[in-house]
Structure 1
Amino acid sequence: MTETAPMATSARTRETALLEQRTPPRHATTPPPPKGSLLGGLLRTARPKQWVKNVLVVAAPAAAGQLFSQHAVTQLVLVFALFTACAAAVYLINDARDAEADRAHPTKRRRPVAAGQVPVPVAYAVGGALGILAPATAAWLVSPAVAALLTAYLAMQLAYCVSLKHVLVVDLVVVTTGFLMRAMVGGLALGIPLSRWFLITTGFGALFMVSAKRYSEAVQMAGKAGATRALLTEYTTGYLRFVWQLAAGVAVLGYCLWALEEGGVPHTSVLPWRQLSMVAFILAVLRYAVFADRGTAGEPEDVVLHDRALALIALVWIAMYALAVANW
């Protein structure tokens, strides 16, 4: 008996050693060491994938049929770059402010600022510089109205980062307003009057996608700990469903009234393309609502790019509206 116990103990010790070799150490979950250059880290923090949202700057000029002159193209490219700079400034300041909290998050800890690739003071400095230079450049090269809108966008987004993202309903309004500002800035840059129906359709269309995204996040995080957005635990899925359904209905109504109002102008085109575009617009909303209802409408650009039917409907709508603007 006295010899068996030491042998058993020795066997258990060997088994424990083997398990320790197979099991990764706890410190493997710590943030990885920073990799890449400082410039690359700054670019990643600016979220290049999100720049596609800034294409909305062409919305008002396209709706007014003033998109293809050399002056319009130059101004819109400049406005796109300035709006991208403002958005990058917000991302940099937000990540610098949340660096400590992001390091404790399983995914956000890999962000360049949280991982140490971009020092916090550098993120603040570059973000602040972009936030000052973009409106100043707009005032110099575009118009005071565009500079004022960019300044308002920066103020609103920074307030969102600090406190407004924790306020029910207000967070939805702020994100929606950001999309609406993108759609308005192109018209301001070219001096195009903005139709009330354009603003209603764009605003509620943006609210539809924003609330559908929140609804999808809430559905996917239901019953799980560690929601990526603190307010997801405050909203109910029923309320978010109500919001995106209401927004979709108002957006469709606004577009129909807009199309019918503009369609009353005498035209020489073969078919009433503007009125016919209502069909494509409604189909696009209904198709997008399928993904919203399933809880898979996480990123609007991903939904549009990965669903062939929705992409085709969008192309048909663009073609119809282009024919209406061209009066063909």
Structure 2
Amino acid sequence: MLRSVIRSMRPYQWYKNLVIFLCIIFSNNLLNLEMWLYLIMVFFVFCMLAGSQYMLNDVKDIEKDCLHSKKRYRPIAAGILPARTALLISFTIMTLSLVFAFAMGRLVGVVSLMYVVNSIAYSFYFKNYAIVDAIFIAVGFVIRAIAGCVAINITVSPWLILCVFLLALVLAFGKRRHELEEGQNSRDSLAQYTIAMSETLLNSSVSMLLMSYALYTISIHTTMMLTLPFVFYGTFRYVQLINLKGIGEEVELLLKDKPFVLNVALWIFLTVLILYGGSF
């Protein structure tokens, strides 16, 4: 039962909550241990909330998942974890996580509640509509970023928040492009997309992301413009991998691509060096 619950909460997807830590890095507070403690707690809350939403979504989509070639092996669809039990566990985890979030602070609780509302609205309605589904996914990433900011009471550049939103759009449209190429029909919204349309939306999102990041580097620190080549390459490499290897948002496949991983490592090193070079 415990193993089935953990699988249903999809911990391999919790990497998306790492966006919570962007605020401490780009606010020049990387060495503040007290802030790290608060952010780690917020990260835990959002991992639990995300897990509860995945379980809730699996209960809702149990009939569709039973007909899917891969999703039918999920514990709820396979009947290993009863739907009623999963629903009870989902609401229990969700409630306890929200209580803990409000205990950390009113704003943290409100932002956490916004994430839950956004996730439920997406799962039960908006994921069935093309373009709107990607926007709700992107908003979920922005809420995570905001949660990190309110937890340690700092503000970051609006350009950075915009970059988070656009990066999420790139990943969402990249995933839709991959699903269409694979001929999947597990989402109602896929019938409203075409491959050409998904490519256009992906390319547009990529263009806006790179422009926004360029403007962000100018607004925060002109030296940060040195990181532009790495961001451009990483983004274009992702698009290349979508077309060559059918990668959607599978991070495990991206992490197996050595050029992509090396590029990300260099970007992180250079960013930290520019922002904190005088602190070490």
TM band (smaller chain) = over 0.9
Are 2:174 and 2:249, in contact at CA under 8 Å, matched by a contact in 1? no
Normalising by structure 2, we get a TM-score of 0.94
Distance between the aligned counterparts of 1:302 and 1:189, measured in 2? 29
The RMSD of aligned alpha carbons is: 1.6
Normalising by structure 1, we get a TM-score of 0.81
Aligned match of 1:199: 161
Distance between the aligned counterparts of 2:2 and 2:250, measured in 1? 28
Residues 1:108 and 2:71 aligned together: yes
Are 1:94 and 1:161, in contact at CA under 8 Å, matched by a contact in 2? yes
Aligned match of 1:298: 248
Distance between the aligned counterparts of 1:255 and 1:106, measured in 2? 39
| Pairs within 5 Å for 1:278-289 | 278-289=228-239
Q: In the TM superposition, what whole-angstrom CA distance separates every residue of 1:37-93 from its partner, at most 9, and x where no partner exists? A: x11110010001111211111112111121332211211111111001111111111
Aligned match of 1:176: 138
Aligned match of 1:236: 194
What residue identity is the alignment partner of 1:171?
D
Runs of 5+ unmatched residues, structure 2: none
Residue 114 of structure 1 aligns to a residue in which SS?
Answer: coil
Distance between the aligned counterparts of 2:185 and 2:16, measured in 1? 24
Are 1:160 and 1:171, in contact at CA under 8 Å, matched by a contact in 2? yes
Aligned match of 2:25: 62
Aligned match of 2:204: 246
Count of residues paired in the alignment: 278
Distance between the aligned counterparts of 2:182 and 2:79, measured in 1? 30
Q: In the TM superposition, what whole-angstrom CA distance separates every residue of 1:169-219 from its partner, at most 9, and x where no partner exists? A: 111111111122222221121111131110111111111111111111111
Among candidates 176, 190, 193, match of residue 214 of structure 1: 176
Aligned match of 1:23: none
Residue 68 of structure 2 aligns to a residue in which SS?
Answer: coil
What residue identity is the alignment partner of 1:246?
S
Distance between the aligned counterparts of 2:175 and 2:65, measured in 1? 22
Residues 1:138 and 2:92 aligned together: no
Residues 1:89 and 2:39 aligned together: no
Residue 295 of structure 1: how far off its partner (Å): 6.4
Residue 277 of structure 1: how far off its partner (Å): 0.9
Distance between the aligned counterparts of 1:175 and 1:186, measured in 2? 18
Residue 300 of structure 1: how far off its partner (Å): 4.3
Are 1:58 and 1:67, in contact at CA under 8 Å, matched by a contact in 2? no
Are 1:184 and 1:194, in contact at CA under 8 Å, matched by a contact in 2? no
Distance 1:99 1:286, change over 3 A: closer
Distance 1:189 1:276, change over 3 A: same
Aligned match of 2:213: 255
Are 1:209 and 1:300, in contact at CA under 8 Å, matched by a contact in 2? no
Distance between the aligned counterparts of 2:167 and 2:68, measured in 1? 32
Distance between the aligned counterparts of 1:313 and 1:108, measured in 2? 33
Structure number with the bigger relative contact order (C-alpha 8 A, sep ≥ 6) is 2
Q: In the TM superposition, what whole-angstrom CA distance separates every residue of 1:285-323 from its partner, at most 9, and x where no partner exists? A: 121121233461222413430110011111111011101
Distance between the aligned counterparts of 1:309 and 1:111, measured in 2? 33
Are 2:19 and 2:145, in contact at CA under 8 Å, matched by a contact in 1? yes
Aligned match of 1:80: 43
Over 4 Å off, 4+ runs: none
Distance 1:140 1:284, change over 3 A: same
Runs of 5+ unmatched residues, structure 1: 1-37, 265-271
Among candidates 82, 95, 98, match of residue 119 of structure 1: 82
Residue 130 of structure 1: how far off its partner (Å): 1.6
Rg (Cα) greater in structure: 1
